[in-house]
Structure 1
């Protein structure tokens, strides 16, 4: 029986932008907001621009993780197959030391390459996600930092949950495939995607909210770092 997959869990840093003016925002956040403002017409109407942009970046997160997902799942099933072969003495010339060396290589690949890569993808996503949250002021002018944290957690949880579901679904798809075969995989549909919204409509809806938030200096700055809780098996 294949052991259950302990999915690595991303834990973002607490929300830290509440109460800041645009010029007080981190430079990477200012840069993202300016880039968004440049990508749309200054005369475009505001049609739920923040929620639409949030859906766009959320949908972009899933394909950006897919290669990492595939590598994690591939190494997991390779390790399971190697453990079974070791129990059966297959191949007979392979020693326990050889299997131990291969397992060491696998763990180095997971913890030294794949999980840091995954964390970076999430950190890049959180820059955009928190920038959009900072814009989302209407009706929330009296929010405390704790209120903003709860609001952010409520918006973020289904997105992070769906990234875990994507990884688990990919793991399940591997179980039904012969060794070295190709496969087809479709990213799970997401309830928060604005289906039916055209590309033109998405671009137009980005406009107004960040028009007033596009001034500031641009320079390099270290990005925020969430944590990847490593529970890969």
Structure 2
């Protein structure tokens, strides 16, 4: 069963580049069946399941990276539970597990502004992507103190991209919908009404205090805060 699943995932890798819209629907169906809980397992079966998880997450990230393909993003954003499951193991294991999930969050943050440029029709998609970032913000901040320098750098990059996406100012704008038909003026809502900098500062502060209370260093958190222009008191 595991081997069969790996073959299906391999086939989907080829479909993503050739036909992203069709691939999105197929990946959602496959992920709903095959994506496993992110639980640390040392046996061979557990490792194979993790490899499948990682490849599914990378496929989802690749679809979001192609944010000019509206159909695939609409399909993914309308499945918020799947996106949450795909990023539910950021703190479970080492670099090999954490990096694909952070990469998914990174492309999600970078897709929000282009999606908003679709016009009113992009708002619900942006809301779905924003919800994922909001839910995974505490875990992303915790990754700033990860033993892996690569994970620390990528988590800081994700936080920076989230802050940038949240810098969009609310305002009216005429734009075409997915079919090219002009809609009435709309406003950027969810992503812009969240005070991302304040939320990130709160998470950084909470995590720093938690680490200090447990006798651990908060140096990496302090460094990340300064890089992000955030203020935390340690």
Assess same fold via TM > 0.5. Answer: no
The structure, 1 or 2, with the larger RCO (C-alpha pairs under 8 Å, 6+ apart) is: 1
Under a length normalisation based on structure 1, what TM-score does the superposition of the two structures give?
0.29
The TM-score normalised by the length of structure 2 is: 0.29
